Chain A
Amino acid sequence: MPIEIDVVTLAQSLAYFIAAYTIVTLSLNLEAGFTGVPNFGKHLFVAAGAFVVASIGNRLSAYIVSVLYKDEIIKLIQEDPLLSRRITEEDIGRLWSMYADPLGNRDLDRIMDKFFAQNPELGIIMFMLIVVLAVAIGGLMGLLISYPALRLRGEYLAILLLAAAEMVVMAIGYYWKPLVGGTTGLFLPRYLAVFGQKVILGVTILLILTALAMYIYAQRIANSPAGRMMRAVRDDELAAASLGKDIARVRRDVIIISSAMAALAGALIAIHTGSVVSTHYQRFSWTFIPWAMMIVGGVANNSGVVIGVALVMILQKFVDIVKPLLAPIVPFDPVWLYQIGLGLIIILMLYMRPQGIIPEKPSRTLNFEEVFEDILEDKVEDEQAKKMIREGRATP
């Protein structure tokens, strides 16, 4: 049986997945690779971005639109035979609350799509507003977890983050319909009507640009004195203790920024897909796979991460392609083989090449003196004072 491959669609979907995973995995690498925070609940932060878009974003845009553009909406509904049958005039005042049930969600979605098609610039504004909101909430959640992250031992932190993520995604996300419609999910308005039919391409490009920006940011962190400090702290308890508060602040900032980044990715993924279903934000997709990518590529190494992302995604696409070939032969869904294979790859990688394909450059892991020098250069202006501090005659 020949397999047909639509090269353009394949390339576009590959680009989308690689960009999305690059953002998430780079943010994971900042936390786990550089600051030593084992985030086993990464899917919570990706889900947070998507959930904000679906629950707050949907309601907010419905509310704003139905209040500010009431007349236009009424006209829209009257023109549409399907909608006019189901939605009365008094419904308009409470349009935003219709997102709770699946049918209301569909109707509302239809209205919003039409509205944004007529007012694309408003769509862009709403889009930006909602994405900023998602990022802000992601950042706030980062701030929240930075409190335990700076105090708990690694294992406890990993357990706590995983438990929090499973609780939010698998309990509340699955069963509390008002949030994102439970396991049936919610549709999102097409905010980016500007792109016309090319919405998916447009969002993919946005994701790629974000991934690039994230890469540059991660590289800057990695090569800054702060980044070197963090690695020293990760590897050396003594350094951590003596650097104290300074480093705690840097680590907190990194956690906030990586959480915000994951939420941004989640928001863009949701908008790319046009819907949010809580079951899409599981541990396997957004915690395990990013960890796998990081370990395959190289922990604490940004270019390694990108390579890891690309390799795992290409593997996934390959499995997608051969799946129809395998399906008639084996009496089960071949997708499980991909999961099992990924689990095996992680374990084999840890065993045979724990440093990843591209190891962290050893020359960059600094010893305490060099870090100390960095801080001196950073903090103390006066040459004379530097000399005194170095010789131990004064304290910074």
Chain B
Amino acid sequence: MAPILEVDGIDAGYGKLQILFNVSMEVEPKDIFVIVGPNGSGKSTLLKTIFGLTKIYKGSIKFEGEEITGKPPHDIAKTGVAYLPQTDNIFAQLTVMENLKMAAYTLPSDLAEERISEVLDRFSLLKARLKDKAMTLSGGQRQILAMAMSLIRKPKLMLFDEPTAALAPKLAAEILKEIIKLRDELGITIILVEQNAKKALQMGDKALLLVGGRVMYRGQARELLEHPELGTLYLGLKK
């Protein structure tokens, strides 16, 4: 099958500050593609680059065979990519319902209502909180809200940046379970950046190890998990 996302020899960064060096990757449809690496290695930057939020100096990015390099984020969003940033991924001052409405901003109103009720059925815990300001939600509930917001537009590819950061282990596991369900039930392709390399590699299909903005490993997630050196060297995995 043709890859849904092709990243080819990308150099990217912020202004003049280059962070990524010659990064390439291919993501197959309906895969969970895991990106791991030490702090500051450029994982978030790679996701932002795919979503058009950084400056690209060289290389190309194709989504479903179409060039999206250099397009602005809202155009990329329209092609079916959703990005959930590490922080500030909801409007804290707005109510839960208003957040969902904003996520459906570009849809016609009847469709918007339909989609909102769909995601509310999926994440029913939000139903009780519709009138509350989003800042009153717990960390896990916020992640769920952010997920719900991106689902409203029925994306084909979702980019998750550390969705479990700062969550208790049990909650983190639940969030990851939800992500797997998105793939299994809705057939959405997932790119996942995770601190907890072990958990992520266990649930992932393919994986990429980023060190200092360069690709150190690319291949099966399982292989990286069992790699004799890379895991201990960069990911703090025990042998």
**In the complex they form, do A and B come into direct contact, defined as C-beta atoms under 8 angstroms apart?**
no
Tell me the A residues contacting B by CB distance below 8 Å: none
Tell me the B residues contacting A by CB distance below 8 Å: none
